[in-house]
Structure 1
């Protein structure tokens, strides 16, 4: 066989391998972010303890799959009962139990459900923020929808903080179907190209939607905390932005707080292809110690403050197939591992935080603050009214 034949076969095999790799990447929409992952830089070495801020955000949807009222009540009641039991068995370095942030969908509003969740939060187990599913929306309808829901959550349920500087009700946001700023290529499940601007004007302090992989809405920016500037004429303006850094200042339209996104080589498909680690917690992706370690190792931080690491994970908490994982032994073991491996006081210090507290600690880092992040949980935005009421009731009791 001539050398030219051998070379031709080798080139053919190489081309076939490259095509197979490209098709594999496209099948999971990895072409959007794999370059950022492969050419990422490692977090810098840290002298002294690493403070780990652990934040669990929930796309909390009691009406999932068109459930009847009895099923909705069962879902909410189970959370209000079993989460208290789970969280009360754990605490961080500051003596606080795990904090669960319930991003509640506007389109699923039911007063009785929010009353129960607000009572759970008032007892010190979390906070309520805003989630929204919408499609083919308009700017005027979006403004009215968010403004109305902010008033309802704040005035009826004691949720959402008030900015002491402006007197404005502020909120954190997760976009339904991952489609922040009309980021789905076909334009479904949003419809608004200036959504970042609208959120800023309506009082949103930060977005917590990402990561969204393997969805095609995933940004090319990964494992980052950054400010995105809106292009009102184009979708997905948050694909890139300016990193939040110490000594910096707010810029653009909206802060984007991402959770860990990486490849999981421990759990490979067919023993070869790595799985996508997108910080999603459910039955099919239980929060194993190896995953917890990977989340912390990702090292998401404000530039210039690598000793403050932010771990934001997410779930859809009202789906029955996942509730045993989220409220049972798997979540219990996750918190035990966090407290055993990342709370020794010398190498690591653990802090359970809500999304609002994440924002406050980020802003403190941006302002150049150092030391114990626990001192900055309320740095810019105070707790919502339900927390004050709960604290008063606990003090009286």
Structure 2
């Protein structure tokens, strides 16, 4: 029998110990998980509370009909499909308040075409969602950014009846999603923004909250996760929203901009090679459709305002205009997602389901911050009213054009 030296056994044992560590490290680094995983692993359980958990469910869309630079006929077909099929999908579902699912159309400024927005405006006017602001930009300047946002929000408000006015100041307000995830110049290569003071600029221009995060596996992902918080901008540094102060009941605003994050974590129900969990990043795509297990994970993330654990906020996102992703968002997978939400999280005893748009989610967060409780449905318009008052004006503007 061949004698194997003791040192060979020692090396083999060491290799067996080290190899899994190297594999895990490679997996983590390849997905930029080192940014957010520590905070995720340190997460605290949502505090217990009396009564049902109210689930605010918000679906935001980086809605880009011109994605991939298709011809005009393809763009039109994409928008027409949404205006037709989303009605049929949403009409099959209702929350505890009798409302259908709400879709947030965060429309890119650089893709503006009046006929596309006019169709989406009608869909939103009929009660299926609201239009907000999306922007892709690169190597931008403060002056150009101010001019771009000011012009676009006025256009959306005056011509398309989108975006609310603040009842005290009269300013047109908007929710925001940053293109390429690079909010506040957070891309490591400095691309796709250019403004280290973007949070300040957004606040000054009327942004009520940002809905960009989570962005994993992008390196723009923040260290703070599964939170609703205020970020203070350091105009000399990028990615000031990497940390912040959580919104809390009875508190006051602290910082330059509120960020409303969607759930992020590890999906152990969807494992690669049988043991590697998939990253849950709240994204609905052709290669990552929603499942009941994902829905349950979103709710378990327990994103809430500190001191109001009975109100849970679930914000998911998509790029819903291109055909492959539209097949998912307008198809059986999302239909089943809504059914699961209504069957498991709307029994009136343990859970109460509320379909909300981005503005309504912000309003309910602000109500929680103000110390209000009970039924969150009554706070959908707590701070910012719906843009419905602008619809008459938008129709008049088009008639005069």
Q: Indicate the TM-score class for this superposition, using the shorter chain for normalisation.
A: over 0.9
Q: Does the 8 Å contact 2:160/2:391 carry over to 1?
A: no
Q: Does the 8 Å contact 1:123/1:387 carry over to 2?
A: no
Q: Does the 8 Å contact 2:248/2:369 carry over to 1?
A: yes
2:115 equivalent among 112, 115, 131: 112
Q: Which residue of 2 aligns with 1:74?
A: 77
Q: Aligned-pair distance for 1:266? A: 1.1
Matched, 1:201 2:204: yes
Q: Which residue of 1 aligns with 2:254?
A: 251
* DSSP 3-state at the match of 1:173: strand
Q: Which residue of 2 aligns with 1:216?
A: 219
How many Å separate the matches in 2 of 1:54 and 1:82?
Answer: 20
TM-score (normalised: structure 1): 0.95
How many Å separate the matches in 1 of 2:16 and 2:186?
Answer: 36
Matched, 1:370 2:382: no
Q: In the TM superposition, what whole-angstrom CA distance separates every residue of 1:292-323 from its partner, at most 9, and x where no partner exists?
A: 11111111000000100000000001110121
How many Å separate the matches in 1 of 2:103 and 2:161?
Answer: 16
Q: Does the 8 Å contact 2:233/2:240 carry over to 1?
A: yes
Q: Aligned-pair distance for 1:389? A: 5.5
Q: Does the 8 Å contact 1:122/1:386 carry over to 2?
A: no
Q: Does the 8 Å contact 1:159/1:386 carry over to 2?
A: no
Q: Which residue of 1 aligns with 2:58?
A: 55
Q: Aligned-pair distance for 1:388? A: 6.3
TM-score (normalised: structure 2): 0.94
Q: In the TM superposition, what whole-angstrom CA distance separates every residue of 1:208-229 from its partner, at most 9, and x where no partner exists?
A: 0010001111001110000000
Q: Aligned-pair distance for 1:21? A: 1.7
How many aligned positions are there? 390
Q: Which residue of 2 aligns with 1:275?
A: 278
2:341 equivalent among 329, 338, 342: 338
How many Å separate the matches in 1 of 2:287 and 2:189?
Answer: 28
Q: Aligned-pair distance for 1:331? A: 1.4
Distance 1:315 1:387, change over 3 A: farther
How many Å separate the matches in 1 of 2:31 and 2:311?
Answer: 31
Mark the runs of 5 or more structure 1 residues left unpaired by the alignment: 391-397
Q: Which residue of 2 aligns with 1:395?
A: none
Worse overlay, 170-179 or 326-335: 326-335
Q: Does the 8 Å contact 2:158/2:390 carry over to 1?
A: no
* DSSP 3-state at the match of 1:65: coil
Q: Which residue of 1 aligns with 2:306?
A: 303
1:357 equivalent among 357, 360, 363: 360
Q: In the TM superposition, what whole-angstrom CA distance separates every residue of 1:212-260 from its partner, at most 9, and x where no partner exists?
A: 0011110011100000000101111000000000010111100010000
How many Å separate the matches in 1 of 2:236 and 2:137?
Answer: 19
* DSSP 3-state at the match of 1:103: strand
Q: Aligned-pair distance for 1:287? A: 1.3
Q: Does the 8 Å contact 2:157/2:390 carry over to 1?
A: no
Q: Which residue of 2 aligns with 1:394?
A: none
Q: Which residue of 1 aligns with 2:234?
A: 231
How many Å separate the matches in 1 of 2:389 and 2:323?
Answer: 28
Mark the runs of 5 or more structure 2 residues left unpaired by the alignment: 394-401
Matched, 1:148 2:158: no
Q: Aligned-pair distance for 1:24? A: 1.3
Q: Aligned-pair distance for 1:17? A: 3.0
Worse overlay, 285-294 or 199-208: 285-294
Matched, 1:165 2:176: no
How many Å separate the matches in 2 of 1:387 and 1:365?
Answer: 27
How many Å separate the matches in 2 of 1:124 and 1:267?
Answer: 35
* DSSP 3-state at the match of 1:31: coil
Q: Aligned-pair distance for 1:14? A: 3.0
Q: Aligned-pair distance for 1:6? A: 5.1
Worse overlay, 82-91 or 14-23: 14-23
Q: Does the 8 Å contact 1:157/1:386 carry over to 2?
A: no
1:26 equivalent among 29, 36, 46: 29
